[in-house]
Amino acid sequence: MKEISVQELKEKKDKGEDFQLIDVREDFEYEMSNLGGLSIPLSGILIEADKVEKDKPVIVMCRSGKRSAAAIMQLEQKGFTNLYNLEGGILAWVEQIDPTINVY
């Protein structure tokens, strides 16, 4: 499974690179704090797989990296090859990039 660090994600955001960010946490988690990605909770990732881009890099994130890894495994079985797991999830983002974000 391909992974991307929070530093690499920040660089992509800062440069305005073309990629899709998908947050697979639950709605209440997303409402508390998010990085502006598309919210598709893990339980619905296969149902909403048509919302996942196929022609650009897709970075999948969650709280710590476990649910996003599970989402990627499910999507890869559907033929996706452009997926990257955000190492450490939003917890790593808060720790290394922006400590002002609320997480539980």
SS3 labels along 27-68:
HHHHHHCCCCCEECCHHHCCCCHHHCCCCCCEEEECCCCHHH
Q: What is the pLDDT of residues 4-24, one digit of tens each?
A: 999 999 999 999 999 999 999
Where do the domains of the chain lie, and which CATH numbers do they carry?
3-96 (3.40.250.10)
Q: Whole-prediction pTM value?
A: 0.97
Q: What is the pLDDT of residues 60-77, one digit of tens each?
A: 999 999 999 999 999 999
Q: Check 4, 9, 52, 62 and give the catalytic one.
A: 62
46 is catalytic: no
